[in-house]
Structure formats: C-alpha cells, structure tokens
Structure 1
Amino acid sequence: MKSGQSRGSGRFGADVVPVAVPMAVMLAIGLWGLDRGGMWGDESVTFQVAQRTVPQIWRLLHDVDAVHGLYYLFMHAVLAVHPGEVVLRLPSVCAATATAGLVAALGVRLAGPRVGLWAGVLYAITPMVGHYAQEGRSYALVAAGVAASTLLLLRTVDGVGGRGWGPYGAVVGLTCALHELAVPVLCAHAVTLALLRVPRGLWSGWGRAAVAVALLLVPLVWVSRGQSGQVAWLVAPGWDRVERLAGNFSPGPAGPVFWGSLLLSAVGLWERRTAAVALPLLLVPPTVLMAVSQVRPLYHDRYVLYALAGASLLVAAGAGRVARALGRMRFEGRRMRVGGRRVHALLGAAGVLALVVTFLTQLPVHRQDRAAAHRPDNLAVVSALAVRQMRPGDPVLFVPSVGRLAALAYPKGFQRARDIALRESASRSGTLWGREASPGELRRRLASVDRVWVVSEPYALDPRWSPPDPVERAKLAVLREEFAVREEHARDGVVLRLHVRRQPADEPPGEPPGAATTARLPVSRPAAPRTRRRPGRW
C-alpha cells in the first residue's frame, strides 16, 4: 500500500508541475499590460451590452449578435461586480490560463510530462494567444472549452465503457453556445476517433453526444442565420489567409523559429497517438470554415483560435521524439563520458533555453500588442478629444452611427454635448448604438444649429463613400451643402471635425464638405484612411 501511494504521489507531482508551469506563464503574459488605457470597438460592444438589464440583452439578441448571447449574459454577471476595462478582460485571461493548462494536460496524457510542459508553454507564449487573452470577447473562452472537450474525449476513449460522453457533450454544447463557429471541433473529434480506431460502442456514445449538441444549437443557428448581415464584411479566404494563419499559429516569426517549429511538427506526426488528436484539431476546423467560406464567407482567424492547441501539441511531440532519440545516445571523449541522466539533464536545459529564446524573438510583438494604438481604434482617445474640444450644449453628429460607441463606452467625454441625430437610446431601442432620426427629421434638426461637431470614421471622409443607409446619406448631404469645416483633429484613426454653417460667399454645394475652407486652415490631417469593419459583429 505504501509503495503504491508513493508511486501515485510521484505521478501526481510529475503531472501537476507540467500543467502548473504553463498556467503560470500564461497568467503572467495575460496580466502584463492588461490595462492598456482604452477599449476598442468590439470590446466596447461587450462593455455596454453586458451592463444592460437581462430583458434588454434578450431583446437585443432577437435582432443582432445572437451568436454572442451567452457570452453577454455571462459578462453581465461579471461586470455587475465592477464595470471596468480590466474586469472586462479578466475572463479572457483566466480562460487562456486554463487553456494553457489543458493543452499541457493533453500533452502529458498523450506523450508524457516533458511533452506536456513544452506544449503548454508553447501555447502560452504564442502571440496570437496573448492577443485574445487580453480582449473582452469570447474567443479565449471558446478555446478553453475546446481544449477541455478534447481532454474529455481522450479520457473517455481511454476509459472503460465510454461513461464520459455526458460531460463531453455538455462541454462541447456550452462551447458552441458561446460561439456557434466552434462546431467544426466535432468534425475534428470524429477524425480523431477514426484515426484511433475506437470500437463501435465508443462511436455510438460520441454520436449521441454530437446529435444532442446539434439539437441544442438549432435555435441559435436559426436566429443567427437571419443576422448574417453582421459578417457581410468577410470575404472568401485565399492562400494569403492560409499563410497568415500559419504565421499566427507559429510560436515565432518567419525565420529559424518558424521553420524549426514546422520541422518539429513534421517529426511529431510520427507520434501516432499524439498526431491523431493534434492534427485534426489543427487542420479540420480551419479547413471546414475556409471551404464553407468559398460559398458563404464566415472565416476569420479568431474564429479558429482554438485550433492553435493542435499546433503546440505537434511541435512539442516532435521535440519530445528528438529528445528521446538523443537520450539514447552516448557521447564519449578523452576526458569525459556523457550519457543517461546527464543527457536528459542537458536536453531539459536545452528545451528551457529554446522556449526562452522563442519568447524573446516574439517579445517586440508582445510589447506592441499591449499598446492601445495597436488595436483597430481607441475609444478612450475619442472621448478625451471631445472633453477638450466641445463646449457645453454643442451638438455632435456621428458619421457613421457606429461612432456612437465612443459615447456609450466613455459617456463622460460626451455628457456636455447633445447627440443631434439620436432618436432612441441603444438600450431602449434594443440595438447596439441606438436609433437615429429619419432623414427629414435629421435635416430639420441640423437646420436649427450653426455649428456641429462630427465624429467620423476615416473611410467616411472619402468623397467616394456612398453609404446604403439613407440617414447616413442625409448626414453627408447636409454637411456638404450647408456646412464648412472650421477645425479638424485626428487621433488613432478617428477624426473630430467642427463644422460651421456656410455663408453665401463660401464654396458652392457639390464639393466635399469643407473642401475650400479646410485648405485655408492649419488643421492636422489623419494618415491615409483605413477601412475598418463595423464593431459588434461576429
């Protein structure tokens, strides 16, 4: 009994350390620079929607963002504790930390403690993981759910009688409810079962779990299908997206680290059991989404973040195979003989050194990612500009209306201003950024003012931009016909302009808003306009 307990405790220690170390590394990376000084558009959607009442969230989901419904309800409970930017991102940090531990646990079960440790740390130091670990969206949580379900799948296959399909189905169902584009993980797991050549009884249990998940998702898919306009900005992926995904999944940049990882992944294919789990997880979800997206674009790298775990496992398995081969070798010289434990110690040190070097090569990327300017926009900066420039009672116009997210996320900057186009608030209207007045009503409101501040997206400054929304077209027409630009301030891809009513001697209608006036003013110009997708989409 004592000897058995001794072996069990030793095994426990050998299994815990390889899991705990990657979790500690991931937690440190996730918390590093977490408060970067501002939310960007998608995060602001999470922030403002999650602070609505549950009935208001439920009403919103009938028209938009049903795919994020469960996540918004979860974040509603989280932000009830404290509505702040750090708290907004903490669930993603915790989820990424858990995923690093789960990847390590998969490696331990498949190929031993050393491979598990390497796989978990590789996952933690990959920049793509660090990026979404610090984002107030659901993708890190989905990755954790997929890793947990993969571990449950493996434990059920290794068990007796397949009694673990209930927990497996529950975790997969919850994960897909967080984001329905996690469904391809079921295809990956089916390929894993085929490669492992499991008996028919296990296939039957897995099939029942998969059917239960599919039935659970039918209502969500039905509702979100009617909201597919949210992803109209996506395009069919080509080979350039494949190359980009390969780079994002690599723990290092193009060069020795990238090609070394690729080589170790190829070696890892010889570890048949590990490859049977890792390779389908790595390849099947991106392949399925890219194939579907040739007909109906649904692919984005972040939707398959969870597949990155397969890459980490393959690289670590390859490194483990090389280490075992070297461990069987003996090195002799005139003065010393190296073998056995010494070789294993040297290999362990070499593995640690390789991971440190890999992280250091990506350190500039990690640092850059922790700057608010590295995100598509920084709504805190927009609010700060408004505080400095607007006077109490000044009318403000958002072009397009999605720019109102800055006022929703940081209302302090706009509390002195008057939103001249707003007809009904976002929370009351069950929309993401509120309902605006009709084109006719908007013209009447603008006719009553002699000056108006315009918060503009860069692409809206392009005279060739022709929005499909009649309200947006009315905004541009009134500004062009009746107003001229007096001031312009640009910061982090957002432009704040003061428009004043044009006098009869000013430039004739038909020119871009403020074309003549702006040429005479020492205003700051933004960099070349960059088209940005509308926040709040999938």
Structure 2
Amino acid sequence: MQHPTSRSAVFPSGLPGGRCCARLSDMGARTVPQPPVWLPPALLALAVTLTDVAGAQLWRDELATWSAATRPLGDLVRLAGTIDAATGPYYLLMHLWVAGAGDSVAALRLPAVLAMTTTAALTALLGARLYGRPAGLLAGLLFALLPSTSRYGQEARPYALATVLAVLATLVLVTAVAPSPEGRRTGDRIRWAGYAAALAALGLTHLVALTLLPAHAVAVLVARRRHPDRRILGPWLLALVPMVLLVGPLVWVAHGQHARQLDWVDPARPADLAALAGGLTQSGVVGGLLVGLAALGAATVGRSALLPGLAVLLPVLLVFAVGVLVPLWVPRYLVFVVPFGCLLAGVALAGVPFLPALTIVALAGTLGLPAQAALRRTHEWPRSAVVDYAGAAEIVADGQRPSDAVVYSPRESWLFLDLGLAYHLGDNRPQDVLVTASPARRGDLWAAECARPAPCLTDADRVWLVLAGRHDDPLAAVPGAKGEALRDGRMVEQVWHPSGLTVALVRR
C-alpha cells in the first residue's frame, strides 16, 4: 500500500500530519462488522499479563510497596515525609486497594495488570486517531506482546500506572486540540478538564513521566499556529495549574530525599543510551526490532511523526542529561515512552498487507518468549540472580521454636531481608530481638537496631541468621558489634543456601 502524499498535512486533531494509514486493501469487506479497535489489543494484553502473574515472587521493590501499603495512614504519611515522597501517592492508592483486595502476590499486581491492559487499548485508540485504524490496531497488539508489558504489568510498582496515564493524557490532548463544530465549547472545556486531571495524576504517580510535557508543548504550539482562530495555548496553560499545585509540593519534598532514595544509581554514560531499547523492552532483540520499525514509521510519515517521536526522544534526552549530573538514570523510569514507539512501529506495519504485518507482530512476540519466561521466574536483574525470600521463610518455618530469635545482615539493605520474611511468615516469624524501632514507627523502610547488640541477644539461645548472598561461614560474614555478639559463645548448627541468601541456625 502506498501512503498518500497529496492529503492535507494536518491531523484531525490539528497536529501536523494526516491519517496516512486509513485502510488496508486486505482488511476485508466494509460490510463485515469490525470490533472496536481497542478490543483485540486489550484482550491480548490482559491474557498475556495475567499468565502466571504470581509466578515470580515479590522482589525487593514490591516488598517496599507491600510494607508501605499495609501501614496505617499516619505511618504512611510519615514514610512519605522521610524517604519516599515521590512514590507516596501510589502507596496511598495501594493502601486503599489492599484494604479491599488483600495482599496476595496476584492481588498486589492486579492494578498493574489492569493498567497495562488499558494502555494497550489506549495505544490502539491514539494510533487510530492519528494514523488510521490499521496502524492503531497493530501498535496496540505489538505493545501487548512486548516483554516489558508483562514485566511492569506484573509488578506492584507505579510504572504501569504512569504508562497508562501518559498515553491517556496524550490522547485527551489530541482530542482537545482537534477542531470542533461551532457551539461545542462545553465539550472543549470537558476535554481540557480531562487533560488536566490526567496530567495531574501522571505527575502524582511518577514524577519522571512529566518529562512528557515538552512533547505536549510542541504539539500545542504547532496546533495553535495551524489554527490561530482557536483558543489552544490558553486552555493548555490553564490545564497545567492543577498539576503544578498538586505536584509542586511533592517535588519539593522529594528533592530533599533524592540523595538517599537514589544513592545506588550511577551517573548516566553514553553507552546507556545504546542499551536503553533493550532495557525498556526487557529484550535486546525485541528492543532492536521496535527501534527499527519505529524509525521506519517515522521516515514514512515525516512530520506526522512529530508527537509520538518527541514523546519518546524528549523524555529520554532530558532524563539522560540530568542523569549525567545527578543520579537519575534508571531505564525503567522511562517505560512510559514505549507505547509511543509502538505507535510509530504501527505506522510502519500498516504500510504492508495485514497478514504479513500480523506476522511481524507475532515474530516480535516469539523473539520475546525467552524474556517472558525469565521475568516470570524473577524480577531481579540479571535473571539468574534470584533472591528466594520464600525459600528462606520456608526453612525458618520448618525448624523454628517459640523462643527463637532472628537476626538480619545487612539490616539497612535494599534487599529488605526482614520484609521478605515478614511477608511470607507474617506474625509466625521468630522474634526480631535487635529491633528498637520498627520501620513504621521510624517512618522509614528499615528498622532501627540496638546500638549495643550483645545485651539484646543475651536471652537468645537459638538465632536464625539471614544474610544476603552465599556464605559458607555465616558468623564470620557478619561485621561489627553485631557479628561479635553473635560469635560470643555461639556456634553454627546448620546452614542453608536458598538462591541469593544464606540462612543459618546459630545456637549457644
């Protein structure tokens, strides 16, 4: 199929470009009823993300979500003021969700499943709005099959919600700047109000996702230039006000927590850009295929690629530029740009007959199968680095006695050893004798321990020692005063090595 070149270079939305992929010759007769363009991608995404949704056990970040979401509201507010303000609104949402749905692995991940399912549907709608039904349908189907859709659709973290809100805000913006019939000012106000709400929700869910705003600003300016008789810039600026009022204080508090929250992140390097596509899609080969298709789609439609192209490039370049100076470059923070890459890929796929295009989409899904299988084993990276919290908890549960104690090393670690056992054992875990203040009481993700461990261990005849990593001599691996107190008059009775951890039973 040849893309038309003689049509007006203006979208129905008032953005540059045209419905370049309005139909395919082999899509079937016009008399055959077609399902809504969003339905097949949504059903496919739902089926894929629900498949073995509880296969991988909660990993460290999800344990932090569980810890925050299960705290009383007062403790949750204290946590946001201490270390995790940027994620505080998401934790509040999960607090309300857990109160009704419970805290099983599947229940914790279901909001992300629904978010990615909705993202696939909205991607198809946005693609159909900008480039025609075939491009939208193929873009949504491709997004549904990406390993990253499963990865973040099966994780109790805010990235899936940020992704759906990024696409929703963009779709509402495209609708809002579209020329409307005379007398439809009420409809315009409703659309701009919807955009303001989506944008505010996006900022509250994921601050980094607001790097999408420059792409929206360019789209608004282009639409204003093409339609000088319409009020576009003023309503757009007004729609930013709720976001500024709600997100501004959050940014201020989060800025003060930046050093502690991201102390594990290295400065960005040029090589990180080359690896980004594989990191975002969770598969190097699938990422390469997506970039190739997106580049082909952008070259095909030229200026029509402005909005989705900038929605990918500007957030990436902005986060990279900031990440060179301060710790910020984490590929998963940019997962919200993936649907926009799929839009451009959908344009490229719509330029060939439908069955070959579907074959390419299926090929992308097939190439991603190894990554799909791996992410359902663990969310750790690399995929071989499984941290088996459930296995450690089972070992302790099978051998513990009522008077046993438990000690973790290291305590203030991003592995959250204590949260892992707390999730799997609940109140049936051994007494944490070194704790002087719980994470909830401190408004933190970690507990405070005895400054002098020896007196706190005096009455502990049997101690379950849980360590990060594999250690053949567990007592020697515990540093400082805690290690000295454990080694004083005690010996190791038995050692287990669940993946990524060491569990030792220590007795007098």
Q: What TM-score comes out, normalization by structure 1 length? A: 0.78
**2:80 pairs with 1:69:** no
Match of 1:371 among 361, 372, 377: 377
Deviation at 1:360, TM superposition (A): 1.5
Q: What is the aligned partner in structure 1 of residue 401 from structure 2?
A: 391
Moved more, 243-252 or 490-499: 243-252
Q: What is the aligned partner in structure 2 of residue 236 from structure 1?
A: 267
Provide closer, same or farther for how the CA distance between residues 144 and 260 of structure 1 changes in structure 2, counting only shifts above 3 A: closer
Task: Tell me the amino acid that sits aligned with residue 118 of structure 1.
Answer: L
Deviation at 1:98, TM superposition (A): 0.3
1:418-433 alignment to 2 at 5 Å?
418-433=431-446
Moved more, 218-227 or 100-109: 218-227
For 2:119, what is the secondary structure of its paired residue? helix
Q: What is the aligned partner in structure 2 of residue 455 from structure 1?
A: 466
Q: What is the aligned partner in structure 2 of residue 411 from structure 1?
A: 425
Provide the C-alpha distance between the structure 1 equivalents of 2:470 and 2:282, rounded to a whole number of angstroms.
34
1:195-214 alignment to 2 at 5 Å?
197-199=225-227, 201-214=231-244
1:275-314 alignment to 2 at 5 Å?
275-314=305-344
Provide closer, same or farther for how the CA distance between residues 11 and 380 of structure 1 changes in structure 2, counting only shifts above 3 A: farther
- Equivalent pair of 2:404/2:460 in contact (CA under 8 Å): no
- Equivalent pair of 2:280/2:331 in contact (CA under 8 Å): no
**2:254 pairs with 1:227:** no
Provide closer, same or farther for how the CA distance between residues 461 and 193 of structure 1 changes in structure 2, counting only shifts above 3 A: farther
- Equivalent pair of 1:274/1:313 in contact (CA under 8 Å): no
Deviation at 1:365, TM superposition (A): 1.5
Provide the C-alpha distance between the structure 2 equivalents of 1:59 and 1:22, rounded to a whole number of angstroms.
40
Match of 2:101 among 75, 82, 85: 82
Provide the C-alpha distance between the structure 1 equivalents of 2:168 and 2:31, rounded to a whole number of angstroms.
21
Deviation at 1:46, TM superposition (A): 1.5
1:126-179 deviation line (CA, Å, top 9, x unaligned)? 111210000011110110000000001111111347533221111111111012
Match of 1:171 among 198, 203, 214: 198
**2:67 pairs with 1:40:** no
Larger RCO (alpha carbons 8 Å, 6+ apart): 2
Q: What is the aligned partner in structure 2 of residue 444 from structure 1?
A: 455
Task: Tell me the amino acid that sits aligned with residue 192 of structure 1.
Answer: A
Counting aligned pairs with the same residue, the percent is 29
- Equivalent pair of 2:470/2:501 in contact (CA under 8 Å): no
Provide the C-alpha distance between the structure 2 equivalents of 1:298 and 1:252, rounded to a whole number of angstroms.
22
Provide the C-alpha distance between the structure 1 equivalents of 2:472 and 2:121, rounded to a whole number of angstroms.
47
Number of aligned residue pairs: give it.
457
Q: What is the aligned partner in structure 2 of residue 101 from structure 1?
A: 121
Q: What is the aligned partner in structure 2 of residue 265 from structure 1?
A: 294
Q: What is the aligned partner in structure 2 of residue 505 from structure 1?
A: none
Provide closer, same or farther for how the CA distance between residues 259 and 462 of structure 1 changes in structure 2, counting only shifts above 3 A: same
Provide the C-alpha distance between the structure 2 equivalents of 1:298 and 1:263, rounded to a whole number of angstroms.
27
Q: What is the aligned partner in structure 1 of residue 44 from structure 2?
A: 25
Q: What is the aligned partner in structure 2 of residue 510 from structure 1?
A: none
Deviation at 1:13, TM superposition (A): 6.1
Provide closer, same or farther for how the CA distance between residues 430 and 182 of structure 1 changes in structure 2, counting only shifts above 3 A: same
Provide closer, same or farther for how the CA distance between residues 103 and 251 of structure 1 changes in structure 2, counting only shifts above 3 A: farther
Deviation at 1:466, TM superposition (A): 11
Q: What is the aligned partner in structure 2 of residue 530 from structure 1?
A: none
1:345-382 deviation line (CA, Å, top 9, x unaligned)? xx111122222222122112212211247475342222
Provide the C-alpha distance between the structure 2 equivalents of 1:274 and 1:477, rounded to a whole number of angstroms.
67
Q: What is the aligned partner in structure 1 of residue 23 from structure 2?
A: none
Deviation at 1:260, TM superposition (A): 4.9
- Equivalent pair of 1:399/1:460 in contact (CA under 8 Å): no
Stretches of structure 1 lacking an aligned partner (at least 5 in a row): 1-9, 324-346, 502-538
Provide the C-alpha distance between the structure 2 equivalents of 1:136 and 1:356, rounded to a whole number of angstroms.
28
Match of 1:188 among 204, 212, 215: 215
Provide the C-alpha distance between the structure 2 equivalents of 1:371 and 1:461, rounded to a whole number of angstroms.
26
Q: What is the aligned partner in structure 2 of residue 351 from structure 1?
A: 357
For 2:264, what is the secondary structure of its paired residue? coil
**2:482 pairs with 1:475:** yes
- Equivalent pair of 1:400/1:460 in contact (CA under 8 Å): no
Deviation at 1:245, TM superposition (A): 1.5
Provide the C-alpha distance between the structure 1 equivalents of 2:288 and 2:316, rounded to a whole number of angstroms.
21
Match of 2:498 among 486, 491, 509: 491
1:448-472 deviation line (CA, Å, top 9, x unaligned)? 4454221111289999x999xxxx7
Provide the C-alpha distance between the structure 1 equivalents of 2:222 and 2:483, rounded to a whole number of angstroms.
59
Provide the C-alpha distance between the structure 2 equivalents of 1:477 and 1:198, rounded to a whole number of angstroms.
74
Q: What is the aligned partner in structure 2 of residue 329 from structure 1?
A: none
Provide the C-alpha distance between the structure 1 equivalents of 2:136 and 2:192, rounded to a whole number of angstroms.
24
Provide closer, same or farther for how the CA distance between residues 144 and 462 of structure 1 changes in structure 2, counting only shifts above 3 A: farther
For 1:72, what is the secondary structure of its paired residue? helix
1:180-201 deviation line (CA, Å, top 9, x unaligned)? 1211111221233345555563
- Equivalent pair of 2:279/2:332 in contact (CA under 8 Å): no
1:477-534 deviation line (CA, Å, top 9, x unaligned)? 4346665544221112011123345xxxxxxxxxxxxxxxxxxxxxxxxxxxxxxxxx
- Equivalent pair of 2:192/2:235 in contact (CA under 8 Å): yes
Provide the C-alpha distance between the structure 1 equivalents of 2:405 and 2:295, rounded to a whole number of angstroms.
61
Stretches of structure 2 lacking an aligned partner (at least 5 in a row): 1-29
Q: What is the aligned partner in structure 1 of residue 175 from structure 2?
A: 155
Task: Tell me the amino acid that sits aligned with residue 405 of structure 2.
Answer: P
Provide closer, same or farther for how the CA distance between residues 250 and 219 of structure 1 changes in structure 2, counting only shifts above 3 A: closer
1:392-431 deviation line (CA, Å, top 9, x unaligned)? 311110112231112321234x725221111233334433
